[in-house]
Structure 1
Amino acid sequence: MKGRKMKNLLKTTLLLVFVFALSVPEAFCQLFTWEMKTPMPTRREYAASEVVNGKIYVIGGYEIGGSTSIAGKNEEYDTTTDTWTTKTSMNIPREQVASTVFNNQIYVIGGTTSSSEINVVEVYNPSTDTWSAKPSMPTIRKNLEAEVVNGKIYAIGGYIYDNGDVYFDVVEEFDPSTNTWTTKAPMPTARSSFSTCVVNDKIYVVGGNSDSGELNSVEVYDPSTDTWSIKNPTSNLRRGLVVEAYNNKIYAIGGRFNSNILSSVEEYDVVNDVWTPSTPMLLALSEGASSIYNGKIYVFGGKDDNSYPDSSSNVVEAFTVGNPSSLEENESSFPKQFSLQQNYPNPFNPNTRISFDLFQSSEVELTIYNSLGKEITTLSQGKLNSGNHNFDWNGTDKTGKSVSSGLYVYKLKTENGFANKKMLLIK
């Protein structure tokens, strides 16, 4: 009797959780969760990525495996359709560059070619899909970072190999209005393989690598006073990480310590100068690129646990940190293209049916995720004709193993957008 009561109590609790989940806005439920996106066409690490007019451009990098070469490739990612388009490549293929956006154009600075480090600056205009040259920065270097504050571009830190490792504390300011470079106050700690972001017109420098090894230090540059300050360090030593800022919070993501690739994520409260753990990545990544758009941080490629050290990664992971106007396109956004129904029965054990209508033929992917955003299985992937479609799920993952009771999300992706709904498995 006691066991039966406990089982009934568990079912009641799960039902209450499900009812609560249905009553909470979809955007809130997706906060601080990771999801996989369509992989990049090109496997690469040490690339750069920037957002212009709602599109993300992943540029340059190095591909281990396949062609095993330095890439000048430029691939555009559409966050709305989760698709990739090839654009015009850089004039000079290179990796370990710095990049930033000014006046809706992407500045790519420094880096290394197949033969040497360089100080070349190229500018990409997405509206014309063309590249142009700007004056080279004074210091030749790779593995640096760049940010824009009040119309000026700041190229920070970096590294060269000159009969040994040489780490830079150099900060150089570029004025696009005059096409001139000016040397500014150096960083307290010379470093490379770090990451940066801007909060309240100040540049935050996080982690990296130096003569002493991996770093967890955080240094902040104020361009208005040309001064540096020190903040509390991250919990983990890491290089090859990515950093993005949202709503006075900074997220330090992935990277590596020695040869150990990290999935950990730390959140920094700018106001209180405090770091706390956040949701780890689905797949550990290092030496990738990142951009933030519409409340999501996108991490592109690098080295991952599955491919390192034999090949570079083309994995794309997205981390929801905000409540944008539209986290995912849903069926109401595309009333003439498709309609996703609630699964039946719901709750269920262990079988349920998912139905949807296509009003025109389309490439379709129907995938099930757990409440943490981890992919469980894919029920359909391929071209489907218009009409009604039904797919049954028996509560197992892609290996055929039964999953535990809990809240799950099924997501329908078509050529015209996305829709997702929740369902509850009770055993």
Structure 2
Amino acid sequence: MEGIVQRSAIPKEGYRIFLQGQRKISTLYRFNISYYLVDISHFFLYFYCIVFTDKEKLITIRAIIELPLLCKFPWFDLSWFYLVIPARKNDPNVKPSYCKSLTLPFGNARSFFPLITLLFTTFLHTIGYSQQWINLNPFNQPPGNTLLSVDFIDSLHGWAAGEWGLILHTDDGGQTWEVQQNHTSDAHIIRVDFADAFTGWALGTNGTLLNTIDGGYIWNEENIYVVASPNDLVFINPSKGWLVGSSGLVLHTSDGGQNWEAQSTPLGDSVHFGAITFVDSSNGWVVGSQGTILHTSNGGQDWLLQTSGVDWALRDVDFVDQQNGWIVGTSPDTTGTLRTTDGGQTWQVAGPEGVAIHAASELDAWITARERYVGGLIKHTGDGGQTWEQQASNTENYLNDVVFIDATVGWAVGDRGTIIHTADGGQTWVVQQTRQVSHDMPQGLFVDEQHGWFAEFYPGRIWKTEDSGLSWVIQNEGSGFSFHRIEFVDAVHGWVVGGTSASGPFGLLRTTDGGQSWETISIPPLYRVTFMDSAVGVAGGDTLYRTTDGGRSWQAKGVEPELRFGVNDIHFVDDQNGWAVGGSVDALDAGVILNTKNGGETWQVQEREVGAILRGVFFSDLNHGCAVGFGPFCGGVIMTTDDGGQTWEYHYPSCPWLNDVFFLDASTGWAVGDYGFACLTEDSGATWTRVETQTHADLGSIVFVENKRIGYIFGEDNTLLKYDRGTSSVQPDPPIIPSAFILDQNYPNPFNPVTTIRFGLPDAVRTRLLVYDLLGREVAHLVDRDMTAGYHQVIWDGRTASGREVPTGLYIARLVTPEFTKSIKMVLLK
């Protein structure tokens, strides 16, 4: 086995490693395992721990540590290399084929591993909080993402993929499915294709291409820089594959996707290709817009036009051998299926329209279709397309893809995470997975670790938990109210505010028994309510109100100048000092920040026409505060102040709309928003780092309890995330102080839409980080302040200081201190 280092090179005590990925972080382990796999590429060190439990299955745990390898270790070979080390000699469960070519860029492996151990011990603090937010999935529902593609290699092993980077895997024929993490949350996976049990690819809507060589336990992103949008791919073995897309895109790889070359077609870029299939290394077909069909008999060196006789948009193609093939698409009428029995020399209309097709033989084929208002459509022909039978799918959700491994065993996938299975050719379909019920819970809170509530906007149900969110009970079944926010000050006193019900406006509900009973209080519609204690509270809607009797009666309070739109959030740091924020979609530039210094009796405008609709506000003390929301053209907006709101600094983190914010102290805070977005600051909001939440649901509210040790995030579609700061095994190490100034190359590069710039300071110093275009004009001012010694990173979103997006091109990032100046080149590709 080339490159294998013998057991004598491994210290008997093993190595400290950081468990991350498929498993919840629990502790730092020191133990011996079967294999270590190290992958170094350019500026990042990936340390994989692969545990082979038996001959059929392996468990992979991944940790990532970012290192400026060029600066600190110039002797590293920048080419890819893998190092595999067996902890047991002659392990029968491990085969060399599991690994790529094995090389070492240095001589002494014994000296290398103490370095690896040191790096893991030293850099653990750079591995963020992503694995510490756990989705409790309180209603025990599978992921509800729409599934767009499915592939099986045998009756047991299969993959399904879809929206927001979701990839599912089964090794028991679909009885159970597990999520495979791939760190691709901003792309929909439109095609998943496996050449064997280990080697597979996943293609995303934004050109994302993922590859795995271990069955999907680790997915690595491959780089393909194309202007067109890829739509489909196919691999006939682990090395040879093709990819097609818009503007006539056809790419081919013969080395497993490490390199791609364009293949020309007689149509140039005049058509959009939607699907591709190959039956062997030579014979393949591509289909696309305007009824286009191309065929190759030499692996794509030459593509020849075949006559379809139609001008449909062709969506999918499948061949069972060199002669018999099927195509499905959409047409102006109800037809949409084509069939050939002579390799495509002639094509005949052979059935209804659809979105996906799979053929088991020259006679048997299945299509899935999406007809308006009719879901769950799957149709079968057993006579070469002369007749089609609609099969009972047992689901009303739209189906998007179908696959069969023979004439009887197959699967189809669709909306709401639906997976159906048949073992008799579709005579009966069984639902293996689907999201049966969805509770939107974006507005919720906990008063301690055990007791929490959330309110559904409609149909206005209130839910309570007494076991830290693991289970929930309804407290008011089917009220018909529309709820906006819920508030509790302890385990018994609570309030819910909203808009209207079937009987008209209601404004507010209150409880004094923990939600067992609720009293309706008539008041104009409200969006937010907060209480300082069980008696004194403030609520906001089109104006502000105050109560001193627990919410039985409310008095309107004026705002100077007059408030022109609604209040979305209110926060008090004590019983006198509070802030309120708001805005309206009817006045996109008219967001407002209000302040009171007398418990809500009077309010003054601190900031108006802020250019954003503000959804959340939080102050950690009388000086340090943060407001979040969204702008009409710039997505998420963050505003911070360190003088009590007299002045505000704007931040545009290139993220979705932000809905809520919570600070643990003056420095550390969290913001959450749409599409599962969460970000963390540890410098009072000057810089923000995105944190992976493992969900793509809109997140509406965040709260910390138990002395801010336990955190909860509420979101739509059954989403409840929990974070325990106290039991986390990973405690941040003291900051690492570099011995010299460092400016690393940005990553990724090229980038779109954001890139991370990392730099190191040996001493506390005034620091500026600027971005220039090629003409020397300043584009962005990322940092300009006194900074502490240590490593720092800043995210640039490709925008100017005013929030304007910059065009594609080459940009210069320059780090400037009184003693050091260095520049790097960055490429923005859109």
Matched residues in 1 for 2:528 and 2:482: separation?
12
Q: Which residue of 2 aligns with 1:130?
A: 516
Contact 1:39 1:315 in 2 (8 A): yes
Deviations 1:97-123 (A, max 9, x none): 343224541111342335743224232
Closer, same or farther: CA 86–71 of 1 in aligned 2, 3 Å: same
Note the residue ranges of structure 2 that are not aligned, 5 or more in a row.
1-72, 79-104, 140-436, 650-684, 730-830
Contact 1:244 1:291 in 2 (8 A): no
Among candidates 100, 106, 109, match of residue 497 of structure 2:
109
Contact 1:48 1:60 in 2 (8 A): yes
Q: Which residue of 1 aligns with 2:137?
A: 39
* Structure 1 segment 22-421 matched on structure 2, within 5 A: 35-41=133-139, 43-45=438-440, 48-54=443-449, 55-62=451-458, 70-76=459-465, 78-79=467-468, 83-89=470-476, 92-102=479-489, 104-113=492-501, 116-123=504-511, 125-126=513-514, 129-133=515-519, 135-137=521-523, 140-142=524-526, 144-149=527-532, 151-156=535-540, 158=541, 168=542, 170-176=543-549, 179-186=552-559, 188=561, 189-192=563-566, 194-201=568-575, 202-209=577-584, 211-213=586-588, 215-224=590-599, 226-231=601-606, 237-238=612-613, 241-246=615-620, 249-250=624-625, 252=627, 256-257=630-631, 262=636, 269=642, 271=644, 274-275=648-649, 276=685, 277-280=687-690, 282=692, 286=698, 288-294=700-706, 295=708, 296-302=710-716, 313-317=717-721, 326-328=726-728
Closer, same or farther: CA 10–180 of 1 in aligned 2, 3 Å: farther
Matched residues in 2 for 1:17 and 1:236: separation?
45
Deviations 1:105-160 (A, max 9, x none): 1111342335743224232633xx501315433xx214x2111136411111x2xx
Which residue type is aligned with residue 598 of structure 2?
A: P
Contact 1:221 1:228 in 2 (8 A): yes
Contact 1:50 1:56 in 2 (8 A): yes
Which residue type is aligned with residue 718 of structure 2?
A: N
SS in 1 for 2:121: helix
SS in 2 for 1:97: strand
Give, in angstroms, the shift of residue 72 of structure 1: 1.3
Which residue type is aligned with residue 213 of structure 1?
A: L
Which residue type is aligned with residue 525 of structure 2?
A: R
Contact 2:452 2:466 in 1 (8 A): yes
SS in 2 for 1:83: coil
Q: Which residue of 1 aligns with 2:208?
A: none
Contact 1:299 1:316 in 2 (8 A): yes
Closer, same or farther: CA 148–193 of 1 in aligned 2, 3 Å: closer
Give, in angstroms, the shift of residue 327 of structure 1: 4.7
Which residue type is aligned with residue 713 of structure 2?
A: V
Deviations 1:205-235 (A, max 9, x none): 2343254126543222233472324446898
Closer, same or farther: CA 111–319 of 1 in aligned 2, 3 Å: farther
Deviations 1:147-206 (A, max 9, x none): 1136411111x2xxxxxxxxx1x2221222693322222375333372222223322223
Closer, same or farther: CA 217–184 of 1 in aligned 2, 3 Å: closer
Q: Which has more radius of gyration?
A: 2
TM-score normalised by length of structure 2:
0.29
Which residue type is aligned with residue 221 of structure 1?
A: T
TM-score normalised by length of structure 1:
0.52
Contact 1:94 1:111 in 2 (8 A): yes
SS in 1 for 2:133: strand
Contact 2:588 2:631 in 1 (8 A): no
Which residue type is aligned with residue 74 of structure 1?
A: W
Which residue type is aligned with residue 703 of structure 2?
A: S
Matched residues in 1 for 2:513 and 2:587: separation?
39
Q: Which residue of 2 aligns with 1:421?
A: none
Among candidates 10, 18, 27, match of residue 120 of structure 2:
18
SS in 1 for 2:718: strand
Matched residues in 1 for 2:690 and 2:440: separation?
20
Which residue type is aligned with residue 152 of structure 1?
A: V
Contact 1:50 1:106 in 2 (8 A): no
Matched residues in 2 for 1:237 and 1:200: separation?
27
Q: Which residue of 2 aligns with 1:383?
A: none
Matched residues in 1 for 2:700 and 2:518: separation?
25
Give, in angstroms, the shift of residue 58 of structure 1: 0.7
Q: Which residue of 2 aligns with 1:384?
A: none
Contact 1:192 1:210 in 2 (8 A): no
Closer, same or farther: CA 33–149 of 1 in aligned 2, 3 Å: farther
Which residue type is aligned with residue 612 of structure 2?
A: L
Matched residues in 1 for 2:638 and 2:727: separation?
21
Closer, same or farther: CA 86–185 of 1 in aligned 2, 3 Å: same
Closer, same or farther: CA 5–287 of 1 in aligned 2, 3 Å: closer
Matched residues in 2 for 1:48 and 1:267: separation?
23
Contact 1:60 1:94 in 2 (8 A): no
Bigger mean CA deviation after superposition, 32-41 or 7-16: 7-16
SS in 1 for 2:559: coil
Q: How many residue pairs get matched? A: 285
Contact 2:700 2:715 in 1 (8 A): yes
Note the residue ranges of structure 1 that are not aligned, 5 or more in a row.
63-69, 159-167, 303-312, 331-427
Matched residues in 2 for 1:314 and 1:289: separation?
13
Identical columns (%): 12
Matched residues in 1 for 2:447 and 2:528: separation?
18
Matched residues in 2 for 1:112 and 1:298: separation?
28
Matched residues in 2 for 1:172 and 1:180: separation?
10
Closer, same or farther: CA 119–274 of 1 in aligned 2, 3 Å: closer
